[in-house]
Amino acid sequence: MKLYTRTGDDGTTGLFSGARVSKDHPRIAAYGTVDELNAHIGMVCAACDPELPFQQRLLEIFAQVQSRLFDIGADLATPEGARNEAKIRRIDDAQVAEAEGWIDEVDEGNVPMRHFVMPGGTELSARLHVARTVCRRAERLMVTLSHSEPVGAATIRYVNRLSDLLFAMARRANKEAGVKDVEWVAGKK
């Protein structure tokens, strides 16, 4: 089978339901950004040293997260009531609770925040912050889509928690490396 099909040459793409929509449809923008987020998490994983306990734990968590992001992509590519809906797994409250558990686990090793934190510090932390910002964009696009078509509330909550998890991980990555958070310094008027 060839990698290219030529079916998208007219500016449309197929949903898992079989329907075709414009490549700039809000549904495509949302799941495309989830795919971009997954690629950034792959970059985070590539920067992890599995010999370091905290980074090994990140790899374990991300093994689950990356699979859930594929679930979310399939969810967003399959409108409710679509013919292939039974073949996909939609995010539910159990996955949201799992993400909250990871946030608590990671953040308990962080110093309580007393200031706004700027992205940066170590390379691993910076990569986590980039992933966090892409995650927030994915969430915004999912909310935009939800104004015109149904999007699972648990799916949006999961992506919201994931951005919090990435933030906690970025701070912890700096702490584990002995690097302080980069503090925001307000400009003067």
For residue 184, is it within any domain?
Answer: no
Residues of the domain holding 156: 23-80+87-178
Q: Does residue 4 sit within a domain?
A: no
Which DSSP state fits 22? E
Question: 149-177 burial, b for 16+ CB within 10 Å, e for fewer?
Answer: eebbebbbbbbbbbbbbbbbbbbbbbbbe
1 assigned to some structural domain: no
| CATH, residue 36 | 1.20.1200.10
Distance CA 165, CA 169 (A): 6
For residue 41, tell me if it sits in a domain. Answer: yes
In this structure, are strands 117-118 and 182-183 parallel, antiparallel, or unpaired?
A: antiparallel
To the nearest whole number, what is the mean pLDDT of the chain? 92
Q: What is the pLDDT of residues 38-72, one digit of tens each?
A: 999 999 999 999 999 999 999 999 999 999 999 99
The tally of domains found in the chain comes to: 1
pLDDT for res 35: 96
Residue 61 in any domain: the answer is yes
- Which pLDDT belongs to residue 16? 73
Residue 183 lies in a domain: no
How much is the pTM? 0.92
Is residue 18 in some structural domain?
Answer: no
Q: Answer whether residue 172 is part of any domain.
A: yes
Of 5-9, 122-126, 140-144, 166-170, where does mean pLDDT reach its minimum? 5-9
Q: How far apart are CA 80 and CA 17, in angstroms?
A: 9
Please report, rounded to a whole number, the percentage of residues in the chain having pLDDT higher than 70.
98
Per-residue pLDDT tens for 86-116? 888 999 999 999 999 999 999 999 999 888 9
142 with 169: CB under 8 angstroms? no
pLDDT for res 24? 80
Q: With a cut of 80, say whether residue 12 has pLDDT above it.
A: no
